[in-house]
Structure 1
Amino acid sequence: MGFSVQIGAFSQLDNAVRLEQSLTRHGVDAYYFLHESGLYKVRFGNHEQYADARSEAERLQSQGIIGRFFIVIPEEYAAARIQRSGEGDLRAELVVTARRFLGVPYRWGGEDRNNGFDCSGLTMVSYRLNGLNLPRNSRMQYRAGRSVAKKDLQQGDLVFFATKGGKRVTHVGMYIGGGKFIHAPRTGKTVRVANLSNSFFKKTYVGGRSYL
């Protein structure tokens, strides 16, 4: 990830969702997330230059779409920090980020707009917050990664399922080790941990992918 713009600091999830959806309607690739402070915030943009990120933010600000903003620099991401220092575990950071959403009634204006929900939003946000630009929908995520056998899965890898039958990917979660993964099940359900040995997930499992 390059330079991004961060806005908002909401105690209520719905406020962050509305801001994310407003930006999306204006053609901005925005996503909300639960910050480690416990507040919901929104980010958008992936620019090579600081000036470009600031220019996009100021344009939206002048139109009254956003208020105050903060530019996130690439060096602040875990991926860059670990690469620079040689210390830390990016896989562990990915899992820590995903775990932050446990219990959250995750709502996402993604692929399945009728339900206002997209499981791939959880995985995309977890990766982007750590500096890795993962595609937005589950099928693109599946195509982007390299194949990993189930026995070789490591924490931070993604696991994919064809929950509607066949082999077409319709669901994704993040593997956290011990045969378990974090996922956003469906509308009305909270983000939770599930087991790959569960009969449903065992039956619908398509494969695992790594991006590291």
Structure 2
Amino acid sequence: MLEISSGIRHFPGYLDRPAQETMIETIRQIVSAAPLFTPVMPGTGKPMSVRMSNCGELGWVTDKERGYRYQPVHPLTGEAWPPIPDALMQIWNEVSGYHLPPQACLINFYADDAKMGLHQDKDEQDLRAPVVSISLGNTCLFRVGGTTRTDRTQSLKLASGDVIVLGGDGRLCFHGVDRIYPATSTLLKSGGRINLTLRRVTP
């Protein structure tokens, strides 16, 4: 485990290859029930470069009219999200250090040309709980700063199987994905990267 900054911990290679392959099969089952969709920015309606889905009692969504929020059903199918699988619950229990379970797992699929601008995860009511992030597939360049957008940032590469925990003083740090490195993993047959973020939403 590496302490990136106060409250931000990096667990390189936390999942070995067999565990990654099992997790991918689990995610495929979730996405077959709760299909990936393209989120759009509030106000402008500009589509993001990632596609997403969720599992858990709540799912994070965004649209032009109502903006960022958590809701119990898929925005396109109207069906409840699939439950968070035991393997993800186990990771949360091992690394989060938090006494309550996650209520949401956001599934982001990055094509090899996708990125994610600097942002804070602050739509949750319970900001004492950390965010636990799991990387699968191609390596990405992850950037993290401070609690204001103008704070100095640092970058690190996240490989398939890596886990990052944003908690404590680092819970509201700005972070993002600057780029994906194609052909750095053979986990996903068509390339790209999947990022899973476990969150506790309510106190």
TM-score when scaled to structure 1? 0.25
Q: Which has the higher helix share?
A: 1
Higher relative contact order (CA 8 A, sep 6+): 2
TM-score when scaled to structure 2? 0.26
Structure number with greater Rg is 1
